Structure 1
């Protein structure tokens, strides 16, 4: 069996201030989150610019997701065997370049290719944040620091994505160039502020050990089912979100600028959900809190396609993304509990599963929103995936009584 690597904890006296780690985690996840979801509000403009159908336009979302999903399978074990600082800086520099190239795309397939490269580079970035925090931050501050990094993703939806949409009123190319430039600034911040996180002595080396490592991880039935449920969950969740902009533009006549303003409201819901995570999980326990979030999401998606006007649709969507903002930190916490020593590998595997689900979900939702009126097909698909993921989570034993450490 492959030897599982363990990050060497930084000695207490050498701990950088938790506020510094939280800050770099926040800024890194902000720029990654902005780029991850940037295409969603730009999709109507990109579809028109490249002269493609709505049915195939989802590949501009799926290209990024596919690149992330494939490269994350290599990035996780690689980062567990090397200094995470070096992996993080290399990945972010490549991410900055690939995102800027998206602004230079001359056609549909060149955009898909550049989005693939951006996703591949991002696969070497965000897992390093999740895996480094437990090694760099004192135990009593880990949850709070994780929450601050997660808030970077939420703020990206609230501020970064709408900003990209507003820049697109000048040119959609400007949106990508700006995100690429911001990523370069964040790289300079990390170069100065992010400390070394070396692998443990004796960590397994060489890519040939990777298949055995994954076999050991996926051989654990509980974790394998957890990841399968997460795949199905994100196929519906992120797959449907990819076409929210298309739906609001088509059925409610929103312009690109108005759509960006709508994304602010959705982002605010996401931030609110993130802020509620600690309180709700503390009261019910993370496992029951996740079950509650799934149940509420099913009810909201059932109501969404029947929204009689834009205001109602935005309220429902804000509640939905608030639930996502609440559930994401819970899922990451539970996955870290299941990960054991292979934090980097499991974090990367979870992200690969997320983007793999997004690839499948966006492709299917593209067919559904083209073939059916309104948001009925997409919302119905999402309800099915949420119910299926809940059943898979239950089969894994995830919803059983929380241990004292949960």
Structure 2
């Protein structure tokens, strides 16, 4: 890897770490925000909901626009909007303005996260695309166990508003850095209608990610409550369990990149879904086994996120001309899956209890595997990348 490649990966990693921190840090701050505006916890939860809904709706538009007009300018403008929205979050005098600020934040992240994935897919050497994508994805996942705790620590000393001020400052700096980094990356040379004849195929392809997200998040959303209910874990033990999960997610993502480049993204993405099904069944069997749960949570995340990263690499190869919009739709599919997964998880808990959740997730993993066996694209593949052997 040359120095330019290292710079691009570093910028992409740091940018996605900031985006992940903005996403994951809100949840632990909700009690303080609720107290500041004198609203219920359920009401403050709308901060997360409006962010996710806006992201899911807006991401495909930015993906389509970036395929036609270049990605760097949208990433830069997105970061400027990100900084503005976080300043507005920090300074909002009323709760209504706070909700508006999170809508703008969702809009800004929709213009950044999928386009970082796409632009890395554009510039990565064909035989190293899996590794490059896994590196930048690890920035987003690292925020799960590193960025959010740092934000919580900052809240402890300076208050919750300081968290958003700091993210706004970093976002402004990164806007300049990203502009300088990506301005020499050429836009797509195609002038045809990128969606012509491909939209249904794209939606079919990203449905794999939706079902995968259900298999992961139907349980993960309720993991703290489940561990308390079934294992009587304390808050510190639950935090340790989430840490094991977070580390497993990062390692699985990075290992997947190496395996994808060596064995092909199609093989790794499908095999990982088979292993995910087996792990979820084991997780169900041993869920009440005390401290063994740490091991199974680690393996669950390791295998699960290996599949996510390899499937992104597969999409990057099989849709070379529509990479931006495919990555955007894939992120929309992810958020839809998270939303549906949380709803399914709540239904399962209400009717059958926590122990049934891993088994329901395993069924989703099987369905995701079946969908992943479809042939994604009929066009000629990039032969230098061993994605479809």
Tell me the TM-score normalised to structure 1 length: 0.77
1:216 is paired with a residue of what secondary structure?
coil
- Taking the aligned partners of 1:84 and 1:137, their CA distance within structure 2 comes to 15
- Taking the aligned partners of 1:45 and 1:382, their CA distance within structure 2 comes to 33
Report how far residue 173 of structure 1 moved.
Answer: 4.5
- Taking the aligned partners of 2:221 and 2:30, their CA distance within structure 1 comes to 8
- Taking the aligned partners of 1:346 and 1:246, their CA distance within structure 2 comes to 35
Residue 311 (structure 1) aligns with = 291
* Partner of residue 210 from structure 2, selected from 231, 234, 245: 231
* Partner of residue 365 from structure 1, selected from 345, 354, 358: 345
Matches within 5 A, 1:125-274: 125-139=112-126, 141-169=128-156, 171-200=159-188, 203=191, 213-220=194-201, 223-248=202-227, 252=232, 254-255=234-235, 262-274=241-253
1:90–1:331 CA distance, 2 compared to 1 (3 A): same
Cα deviation digits, residues 323-362 of structure 1 (max 9, x gap):
2331222011111122131111111111111122223223
- Taking the aligned partners of 2:351 and 2:200, their CA distance within structure 1 comes to 40
Residue 21 (structure 1) aligns with = 8
Report how far residue 124 of structure 1 moved.
Answer: 0.6
- Taking the aligned partners of 2:48 and 2:228, their CA distance within structure 1 comes to 17
- Taking the aligned partners of 1:366 and 1:384, their CA distance within structure 2 comes to 16
Verify the 8 A CA contact 1:248 1:259 in the aligned structure 2: yes
- Taking the aligned partners of 1:310 and 1:107, their CA distance within structure 2 comes to 45
* Partner of residue 341 from structure 1, selected from 310, 321, 340: 321
Cα deviation digits, residues 89-138 of structure 1 (max 9, x gap):
00112123334444567888766554333222111112222222344445
Verify the 8 A CA contact 1:59 1:363 in the aligned structure 2: no
Matches within 5 A, 1:68-147: 68-103=55-90, 113-139=100-126, 141-147=128-134
- Taking the aligned partners of 1:105 and 1:245, their CA distance within structure 2 comes to 31
1:281–1:198 CA distance, 2 compared to 1 (3 A): closer
Verify the 8 A CA contact 2:133 2:257 in the aligned structure 1: no
1:214 is paired with a residue of what secondary structure?
coil
Report how far residue 75 of structure 1 moved.
Answer: 0.7
Verify the 8 A CA contact 1:95 1:183 in the aligned structure 2: yes
Tell me the TM-score normalised to structure 2 length: 0.80
1:287 aligns with 2:274: no
What 5-or-longer segments of structure 2 have no aligned partner? Answer: none
Verify the 8 A CA contact 2:34 2:44 in the aligned structure 1: yes
Residue 8 (structure 1) aligns with = none
Cα deviation digits, residues 240-284 of structure 1 (max 9, x gap):
4333345456764644x7755554332221222123214443565
Report how far residue 32 of structure 1 moved.
Answer: 1.4
1:388–1:52 CA distance, 2 compared to 1 (3 A): same
1:24–1:163 CA distance, 2 compared to 1 (3 A): same
Decide which moves more: 88-97 or 242-251. Answer: 242-251
- Taking the aligned partners of 2:358 and 2:48, their CA distance within structure 1 comes to 18
Verify the 8 A CA contact 1:93 1:184 in the aligned structure 2: yes
1:254–1:106 CA distance, 2 compared to 1 (3 A): farther
- Taking the aligned partners of 2:229 and 2:164, their CA distance within structure 1 comes to 24
